[in-house]
Amino acid sequence: MKLISVVSTRPDYIKETLRHHYLKEMGIEEILVNTGQHYDHNMSQIFFDELKIPIPDYSLNVSTGLVGRQTGEIITQMEEILLKEHPDLTLVYGDVTSSLAAALASVKLRIPVVHIEGGIRTDSRFNPEDINRKICDHLSDTIFVPTELSLQNLLKENFPSDRIFFYGDVTKDILLYTLNRHDIKIERKDYILITLHREENVDNSQRLTNIIRALNESGEKIVFPVHPRTRKQLERFGLQDKIGDNIQLLEPQGYINFIRLLAGARKVLTDSGTVRREAYIMYKPVITLIEIIWWPEIVKCGWNLIVGADKNKIVDAIRQFSPPAEHPEFFGDGNAERKILNKILSLYG
């Protein structure tokens, strides 16, 4: 059996860490395609180096910028690769533009698409990730969902139950593996960790200004590894010079260092989809800086407070947010990846 696995951005690269080992063990041939949606060293190569991910068989080096051109370039290049490689299936992840483009190229050539991390839904009509994920689900032959709720979402939309599977979240697998492998202890140090990169926040000068003001006003020690998109916008909106002395700006971190930072944080502020659940799994109070709720489970159980970009709410949350003792399990048992690949082998092998 032969599959094409399409990776494109920081969270995808990280997820390749365990997958390529398991595929090898199972005798499944993997053709790794990196579209290159992320390209700075600290957003791409650093993960290949430190997580020992194989050199991609194809690097598409797509240009950044307008989404239509980027999508078109990926479709065009993927078509050539698919016609040359004739895989049994194409594997895509999550909600990035590259996954949508690769899924479209594949299904048009009648090559089945398997979507990992499908089924998550919000009521947002214009969020780019939501659009990508919904279309990927509809193009896919098989969908693996990370939570019970995402399974229910797909059933409500009448997806056939024999094409959707809930084995847990692969993010948890790699997180538990990394904590164990690098002997990282979950502690409660004196700093707050923030990540920020959603277009709704960083491309909007008012929202970005509110968030920076809130961080300054909190007076707390804040550690902030800055996504390149955010770095550019801080400069563009003249906010670089308004960062308070309590905030330590860092380059985007490699995964192992980032997990160390997360493991030591007192609280976590983020608009990331993945950091929210990594923080939850590590028992960190999570304060979300965007109104889009991808994981209602962790909001309902009281561990994730949604504050958006409201300055006063952010300051109050930094000072006062305190989750309850109860911490239910939503993201599986840490063996999602193996279960998913076994299922793929039984369906397409």
Return the active site residues: 197
Write out the DSSP string of 70-117: HHHHHHHHHHHHHHHH--SEEEEETT-HHHHHHHHHHHHTT--EEEES
* Binding residue for ligand UDP, selected from 4, 6, 10, 280, defined by CB under 6 A: 10
Binding mask 195-234 for ligand UDP (x = CB under 6 A): x-x---------------------------x---------
Full DSSP string of 240-303: GGG--TTEEEEPPPPHHHHHHHHHH-SEEEE--HHHHHHHHHTT--EEESSS--S-HHHHHTTS
Pair of tokens at residue 187: 């502690």
Q: Which is nearer to ligand UD1, 21 or 232 (CB)?
A: 232
Q: Give whole-number Cα distances, 334 to 146, 173, 222, 343, in Å.
A: 11, 4, 30, 16
Q: CB of residue 100 vs ligand UD1: minimum separation in angstroms?
A: 8
Task: Tell me the closest approach of the beta carbon of residue 228 to ligand UD1, in angstroms.
Answer: 3
Q: How many CA atoms lie within 13 A of 249 on its CB side?
A: 16
Of residues 3, 4, 6, 11, which one binds ligand UDP by CB under 6 A?
A: 11
Instruction: Tell me how far apart the alpha carbons of residues 90 and 112 are, in angstroms, rounded to a whole number.
Output: 6
Judged by beta carbon, residue 142 or residue 272, the one nearer ligand UD1 is 272
Specify whether the backbone of 158 is left (phi greater than 0), alpha (psi in -120 to 50) or beta: left
What is the four-CA torsion angle of 220, 179, 42, 131, rounded to 10 degrees? -90
String of contacts with ligand UDP for each residue 252-281, x by CB under 6 A: xx-x--x-------------xxxx--x---
Closest by Cα among 331, 271, 343, 265 to 298: 331
297 interface partner picked from ligand UDP, ligand UD1, none, CB below 5 to 8 A per type: none
DSSP-assigned beta bridge partners for residue 165: 144
Question: Which is closer to ligand UD1, CB of 292 or CB of 345?
Answer: 292
Please choose which of ligand UD1, ligand UDP, none residue 225 contacts, taking the beta carbon within 5 to 8 angstroms, the exact cut-off set by kind: ligand UDP
The option from ligand UDP, ligand UD1, none interacting with 308 (CB < 5 to 8 A, set by class) reads: none
Residue 311 found at the interface with ligand UDP (CB under 6 A) = no
- Residue 288 touches which member of ligand UD1, ligand UDP, none, C-beta under 5-8 Å by kind: none
Q: Evaluate whether 118 touches 149 at the Cβ level (below 8 Å).
A: no
Interface contacts to ligand UD1, rule CB under 6 A: 9-11, 37-40, 43, 64-65, 95-97, 128-129, 197, 228-229, 232
Judged by the rule CB under 6 A, the positions of this chain that interact with ligand UDP are 10-11, 14, 195, 197, 225, 252-253, 255, 258, 272-275, 278
